[in-house]
Amino acid sequence: MVVLSSRNMTFKEFIDVAVNKEKVSLSDELIDKIKKARDLVEELDKEDTPIYGINTGFGFLAGKKIDKDKIEELQFNLIRSHCTAVGEPYNEAVTRGIMLLRARVMSQGYSGIRAKVINLLLELLNRNIIPVIPSQGSVGASGDLAPLAHLAITLLGEGEVFYNGKIEQTNEVFKKENIIPVKLHSKEGLVLINGTQAMTANGLIQLYRAKNILKSADIIVSISLDALKGTIKAYDEKISLIRPHQGQINTATNIRNILKGSEILVSHSGCGKVQDAYSLRCVPQVHGSIKDVIAYVEKTLLIEMNSVTDNPLVFPDEKEIISGGNFHGEPIAFAMDFLGIAISEISSISERRVEQLVNPNSNDHLPAFLIKDEGVNSGFMIAHVTAASLVSENKVYAHPSSVDSIPTSANKEDHVSMGTIGSNKAAKIIDNVEKVIAIEYLIASQALDFRKPLKSSVAVEKAVSILRERVPFLTKDEYLKPYMEAAINIVSSGKLVSEISELVDII
């Protein structure tokens, strides 16, 4: 059970809930803070003075005061009218993450919402009744209005949810589960939809995947290095220590540890080979730089995960309600663009190693395209083409979205972050990167098997054996699609990293 409190939530707790479906509750401390903020809202609600978010319209209509007898209708209308997101819905992990982060924001005592509303959101999360939230339609300020409205409307018993693996109408699911929808009071509609939780939750899930990719890539390049009879000299600790970027140091350490004890490395140690191509020689510098970017992205996302980003904000101790701009997604927008740009480089350098592996002019006397009787057989020729295609696709997705802004809401919202687009693009890039490094995994393992009877290190041989449980060494052309899918699954599921991490500490 993850208990939300005033302390910062950890990345692990986020993943435990979003991915591993851990249950969530509110601490007594937060329930008291929630009530205190709500009491101030209800106190101010009795006054005639226009207060944004409590008794006014929204956006361009912020100056229009709403009669008391229309406040509840205003909340419903706000949610319904903002349910305009389109496209494929977010997957379960991202949506669960959005729900968790929205509860986290609202429970900190600065939003002025009732605990009853937050508890219903957590009840749906704990029962795995997941709103259908389309992934397109947010410009990233005033936060993720449209996506979050699709979350909010489920609390009203409307919209759609994923239930037992299917999309169903929320009202029908509530009847089956004996769940009573809420009626929103003043300010609560705006509280539910104002914030950066869609882009942030999606960003955190992509960060989780990116960390797995980086460790996977270090394992896979170790297979390629031995398969190509590359030199380990470029990974010498002395090189990194005089250019001490932490990511570079960690990467070189990983590769040395993964390849420790390799017979293949020893077999050609006296061959006189001094330098490899950059895709082998410069791995510490490239992979390491990406790791340093990921560290920045993680720092930014963890700050945002534990921040209050709705508007207006309630400060009960000062008896103030202040309208500000914490909903603006610029910090996340930059981080997501940076994540996409950086992680795409993993696929770019991986594709170059794939070319080295299949090309008889560079693969140290291995068959062309790593298949016997080449000519009759094409081997992995077109698997390389697939990798090249995905790398090229990533070049398009890596164009930053944060440099764009389109004014909305009658020019009231005249500068927006496009951070949600950035997080969506990062997800597409990561999808492609997983596929490219899985193709390298497939091809490098085929190449390494040609080096028998020489063996690589224990860790590298284990990595190949994990693949061989599902993909045989190919002696002739076969239907490659299921083998490629198997390699992709081994990488994306984290199986490769988890099993190799039992043998070698990968940092």
Residues carrying an active site annotation: 52
**Identity at 29, one-letter amino acid code:** E
Q: Is the peptide bond preceding residue 472 cis, with omega within 30 degrees of 0?
A: no
| Closest residue by Cα to residue 98 from 11, 241, 8, 196 | 196
How many degrees, rounded to 5, is the angle at CA 15 between CA 9 and CA 21?
Answer: 110
- 221 token code pair: 């390049």
Spatial distance between the Cα atoms of 78 and 189, rounded to a whole number of angstroms: 7
Q: What is the torsion angle, in degrees rounded to the nearest 10, for the CA atoms of residue 292, residue 298, residue 303 and residue 308?
A: 140
**Identity at 405, one-letter amino acid code:** S
Three-state DSSP at 171 gives helix
Spatial distance between the Cα atoms of 486 and 124, rounded to a whole number of angstroms: 34
Residue 68: DSSP 8-state: G
Contact 391, 351 (CB under 8 A): yes
Three-state DSSP at 86 gives strand
| Closest residue by Cα to residue 224 from 371, 363, 380, 367 | 363
- Reading phi first (left if > 0) and then psi (alpha if -120 to 50, else beta), residue 83 is in beta
Spatial distance between the Cα atoms of 39 and 321, rounded to a whole number of angstroms: 12
Spatial distance between the Cα atoms of 362 and 351, rounded to a whole number of angstroms: 14
Contact 422, 338 (CB under 8 A): no
Contact 198, 148 (CB under 8 A): yes
| Closest residue by Cα to residue 490 from 419, 442, 426, 425 | 442
- Reading phi first (left if > 0) and then psi (alpha if -120 to 50, else beta), residue 187 is in left
Contact 465, 455 (CB under 8 A): no
Spatial distance between the Cα atoms of 139 and 325, rounded to a whole number of angstroms: 14
Contact 222, 443 (CB under 8 A): no
**Sequence-distant (≥ 6) Cβ neighbours of residue 241 within 8 angstroms:** 249
Contact 190, 319 (CB under 8 A): no
| Closest residue by Cα to residue 158 from 185, 182, 187 | 182
